[in-house]
């Protein structure tokens, strides 16, 4: 479950009309959703460094909701994630995960594939291009002066531990607002972006 939490954190930094039952292959991708994602990715690609502050809600079966705050900083292929219970550091080749409660460090090689458990923010902004997910706009609305759009992602592989992800974007401001991940075990994770600080190339 720890890997699911980490995967969710890194997912966010990155990045109507179709019935979900028709979303069975990459050819079913919504072109309107792709236009929005392409625009968002183009903006993220201009960032040399970025820091994202977030709040994450963890909803585990038969357990009270847990809320954690944290931040992720990326500089090129290097990144770090800081949260209450764990910290993650990556130098482009190796990933170190420090589990504070257990006073334990896990070390793994960086995996650049779209199915990796650990992906950097900018890597996550490219997964929709790899043909391993099908995605579509499922809702658009105006709220609090924002043009909000929800894009739902469905993994084509049945081996993933999550069933779908829902990314909420402020289309006018071209920024991520939140990401909600639904796991096969009934767990739900909601990541809310509170601030993004960036330095362009």
pLDDT tens digits for range 108-154:
887 655 444 445 556 666 667 777 789 999 999 998 889 999 999 88
> For residue 31, which of 2, 77, 39 has the smallest C-alpha distance?
39
pLDDT of residue 17: 31
pLDDT of residue 50: 83
Residues 193 and 69 sit within 8 Å (Cβ to Cβ): no
Give me the domains of the chain, ranges plus CATH numbers. Answer: 2-200 (2.50.20.10)
Weakly modelled stretches of the chain, pLDDT under 70: 1-26, 111-127, 201
pLDDT of residue 164: 87
Phi, psi of 120 (to 5 degrees): -75, 160
pLDDT of residue 22: 53
Give the CA distances from residue 49 to residues 68, 85, 122, 179, 197, in Å, rounded to whole numbers and listed in that order. Answer: 23, 24, 10, 21, 8
Assessment of whether the complete model's pTM goes beyond 0.85: no
Q: Which long-range contacts (CB under 8 A, 24 or more apart) does 81-88 make?
A: 81/6, 81/9, 81/10, 83/9, 83/56, 86/2, 86/5, 86/6, 88/6, 88/9, 88/118
């Amino acid at each position: 479950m720890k890997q699911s939490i980490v995967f969710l954190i890194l997912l966010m930094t990155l990045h109507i009309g179709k019935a979900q039952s028709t979303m069975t292959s990459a050819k079913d991708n919504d072109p309107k959703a792709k236009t929005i994602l392409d625009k968002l990715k183009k903006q993220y690609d201009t960032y040399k460094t970025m820091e994202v502050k977030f709040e994450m809600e963890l909803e585990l079966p038969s357990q009270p909701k847990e809320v954690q705050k944290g931040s992720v900083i990326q500089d090129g292929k290097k990144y770090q994630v800081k949260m209450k219970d764990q910290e993650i550091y990556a130098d482009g080749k190796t990933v170190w995960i420090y589990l504070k409660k257990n006073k334990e460090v896990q070390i793994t090689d960086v995996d650049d594939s779209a199915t990796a458990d650990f992906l950097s923010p900018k890597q996550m902004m490219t997964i929709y291009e790899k043909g391993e997910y099908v995605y579509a706009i499922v809702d658009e609305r105006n709220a609090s002066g924002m043009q909000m759009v929800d894009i739902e992602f469905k993994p084509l592989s049945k081996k993933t531990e999550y069933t779908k992800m829902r990314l909420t974007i402020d289309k006018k401001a071209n920024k991520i607002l939140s990401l909600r991940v639904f796991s096969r075990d009934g767990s739900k994770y909601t990541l809310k972006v509170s601030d993004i600080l960036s330095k362009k190339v």
